[in-house]
Amino acid sequence: MPRQKLVFDTSVCLDLALSGLLDSVVQLRYDLLLPDVIVAELIEPPGEDLLRRGFIQESFSSDEVQQVLNLHRKYPMETVNDLFGLLLAQKNSCSLITGDAGLRKTAQSESVEVHGLLWLLDLMVEENALDPLAAANALELLMGKKRWLPKAESEKRIKTWRR
């Protein structure tokens, strides 16, 4: 049976790097997909570093590039790179993982399942890819770095994971 897939956007990759969770997320029983444009865009962490850790880079045909340009006409507030992530999730019938509220709304408009970092942390704890205490520490670290996270939901998880 083929593994399920998750597509990551830049914001979540940055959150995972800032919180030291890149090695944990690759332990999930999913294929972790990145559009080639996001791999090229990432500087810290370098996109190539994510590939070495186990993320999978996906490229696009000229027809798919045209689909992204059409999506950009429909959703001009979204970056083209984010729309490559959206198209990749559509193409693979899988979830898009993003911390971008606008992209989340766009994905929902396009009937793409979308989740954020908290969902991903829950999954990592559930699959034992991450110890609950480490998840709480990582989430606190991100909150201290002023990354956008829903405060009440984050605090609830921290409290639960510290028990």
Question: Which CATH number does the domain 4-118 belong to among 3.30.1330.10, 3.40.50.1010, 3.40.50.620, 1.10.3720.10?
Answer: 3.40.50.1010
What is the average per-residue pLDDT within 5-27? 96
pLDDT band at 3 (very low <50, low <70, confident <90, very high): confident
pLDDT at 1 over 80: no
- The pLDDT score that the predictor gives to residue 126 is 97
Q: Where are the domains of the chain?
A: 4-118, 131-162
* Collapsed DSSP state (helix, strand, coil) of residue 148: coil
What rounded mean pLDDT belongs to the chain? Answer: 96
Supply φ then ψ for residue 66, to 5 degrees. Answer: -65, -40
Whether the model clears a pTM of 0.85, i.e. scores above it, the answer is yes
pLDDT at 124 over 90: yes
Most distant CA atoms of the chain, gap in Å? 51
Instruction: Give whole-number Cα distances, 13 to 7, 17, 128, 154, in Å.
Output: 10, 6, 20, 18
What is the average per-residue pLDDT within 102-131? 98
